[in-house]
Structure 1
Amino acid sequence: MPVTLRIIGIALLMVFTVPVRGYDVLVSVTGNLIGNTCIVAADSQEQTVPLCTIGLKQFSKAGAVSNIKTPFTLTLEECGPTFAGVKIRFSGTPDDDNPQLVKIAEGGATGVAVQILDKDSVLIPLDTQTTAYGAAGDKSVKMTFYARLAATGAPVSAGDVSAVATWTTEYQ
């Protein structure tokens, strides 16, 4: 009896299957391997940027920024012979009120977020590419940025400040 059920089951599967059609498809993959990449220096792979202790008085309204901005440096080394520059993009969890800024972790201060600034103290919005750093033929590139707090909404409340941003490179 079990043999008969198997045969009937196989026959039913054959009745309800859709015919399969084959096509000739060619996938052509092309590219160019270049040697302009660099190695991230060990001290740039993971950094902690201390923002110090900042008073609430500095954040009287949305858009107000702390008077303390902390510099940090990202370094690329051993750049290839065709290196012509690099652009940086910072990503992270965007603040709910101002998506250009990095959101502070839950359970900490509220009404503020972290700004990332370029070497000229100009805001670098999250997920936006910077101008190019470095020049053709450079063997290494040191890039200075700043982090500071900015009020995103009222009220601002005291608490710990912790935020994480990731940086990626795009070579010229």
Structure 2
Amino acid sequence: MKMNILVLLMACVTALPALSADNVDIKVTGRIIAAPCVFNGGNSNMNIDLGNIQATNMFTPGSSSDPVSFNLLFTSCPPGTLSVTTRFSGTPDPEAGMNYYQNSGTATRVAIAMSDATTGVLMGNGSSITQNIAADRTAKMPMKAMVTSVAGRPTPGSIRAVVVLTMQYN
């Protein structure tokens, strides 16, 4: 009888660890992403000089300065990277609207505009543009920048805006 109780007790004890085991799910996640290109020759800053603009040329509401052309240039794009999407962000001008950037310089009643030089579409806060990578592993986005006076009658002073570009490689 003692032997039967001992065998029964051993059977119960060995079953306990199986009853108290935890199930664990392991989730494995990740992404395969396209490698980046070299932007602007490796320099992460660009300075676009709009030059000296006569206040009298901006006197009329809706007037703009002459546009200044520049390129967003991508080189050394690795194989497998097919396109680049550039997203623009900055402080929108409260008077001119979301497509224009607020001047943080000392000139008043002016806003800064950036546009796609090919289509003329304004690249304001939240806008984006996509360019395919060429066979030579480069991409070029021709752009223009200018100053606009929506209300006219600007006061002389400096012009300054910071526009942040975020690139996504596909």
Q: TM-score range by the shorter chain?
A: 0.7 to 0.9
Larger Rg computed on CA atoms: 2
Q: TM-score under structure 1 normalisation? A: 0.72
Counterpart position of 2:141: 143
Q: Give, as a single letter, the amino acid of the residue that structure 2 aligns with 1:124.
A: M
TM-score, normalising length from structure 2? 0.73
Aligned to 1:171: 169
AA partner of residue 47 (structure 2): T
**Structure 1: runs of 5 or more not aligned:** 1-23
Question: Does the 8 Å contact 1:70/1:148 carry over to 2?
Answer: yes
Where do 1:36-115 residues align within 5 Å?
Answer: 36-42=35-41, 44-66=43-65, 68-97=66-95, 98-106=97-105, 108-115=106-113
Query: Residue 3 of structure 1 aligns with which residue?
Result: none
Is the alpha carbon distance of 1:34 and 1:135 closer, same or farther for their aligned partners in structure 2, counting shifts above 3 Å? Answer: same
**Aligned residue in 2 for 1:125:** 124
Distance 1:138 1:26 in 2: 46
Aligned length: 147
Using the alignment, how far apart are the partners of 1:94 and 1:25 within structure 2? 49
> Quick check: 2:92–2:125 contact (8 Å CA) kept in 1?
yes
CA contact (8 A) 1:105 1:162 kept: yes
Distance 2:63 2:25 in 1: 58
CA distance in 2, matches of 1:119, 1:25: 56
Aligned amino acid, residue 59 of structure 1: M
Distance 1:161 1:27, change over 3 A: farther
Q: CA RMSD in A?
A: 2.5
Instruction: Flag the structure with higher strand content.
Output: 2
**Fraction of identical pairs, as percent:** 27
Unaligned stretches of 5+ in structure 2? 1-22
